[in-house]
Copies of this chain bind each other. A is one copy, B any other.
Amino acid sequence: MKGLISRRGKVSKPSPRRQEQKLHRQAEILNAGFEVFAAHGYEAARIDDVARQAGVAKGTIYLYFRDKEQLFRAVVRSLVQKRFDAIAGDFEGKAGELLRELLSRMYGQIVRSDKVCAIVRLLIAEGGRFPQLTEIYHREIIAPGMKAIRHVLTQGIASGEFHKTAAVEFPQLLAAPGVLAIVWKVLHGQRHRLDLDAYSQAHLEFLLDSLRKQTV
């Protein structure tokens, strides 16, 4: 009830205009927070920088988030929510085609995204401090992703296109080159750039070599 009744006794109307502005401002702070946290990591990130980046005063941050830690959590959570919806789409057609489509999305929307790379770095760097965040990430992204891979595989096996494979147990084996590519980008950035087109193509071939039944 707190806050619903103003000091003057009038019913406080959140004023949709205001409400909107508030959300907008919160979003701006979250964006700014992401940029700063991604650039420097949790400890090295300065609230001052977040505020400047967001175009608000330092104190304003504290109107929206209790402290630095809550800001960080909110930033990471906000990132999870938007991501990877695209992949959730269902696949139809031959298993080989599905696989191609899956990889295409994986590289196109995940590996290539600088934002995703930044998120991954952040999670790896700060995961120890904030295990719940990686938990969210696992639940929302990793598990569904593995489920999708497993789905394609079982479908391919059922249709006779693929032979039985240990990858059903460990869908990670299929996704691993994508993960490596992200880590590679994060670690070697500009200096040893991976040719992602060729790499993803090789990845697909490699998978099909492994999965397809001998067509003798």
Binding site for B on A (CB under 8 A): 7-8, 39-44, 55-56, 121, 123-129, 131, 134-135, 137-138, 163, 165-167, 169-170, 172-173, 175-177, 179-181, 183-184, 186-189, 191-192, 194, 198-199, 201-203, 205-207, 209-211, 214, 216
User: Which residues of B have CB within 8 Å of A166?
Assistant: 201-203, 205-206
Quickly give the copy total for this chain.
4
Within the complex, the shortest CB–CB distance from A6 to chain B, in Å, comes to 8
User: Which residues of B have CB within 8 Å of A180?
Assistant: 172, 175-176, 179-180
For the complex, give the distance between the alpha carbons of A173 and B200 in Å: 10
CB-defined A-B contacts under 8 Å, sample of 26: A8-B55, A40-B43, A41-B41, A43-B43, A124-B124, A124-B183, A127-B187, A128-B189, A134-B187, A137-B187, A138-B187, A138-B192, A166-B205, A166-B206, A167-B206, A169-B198, A170-B177, A170-B203, A172-B177, A172-B180, A172-B181, A173-B202, A176-B176, A179-B179, A207-B210, A214-B216
User: Which residues of B have CB within 8 Å of A192?
Assistant: 138
In contact, A199 and B170 (Cβ under 8 angstroms)? yes
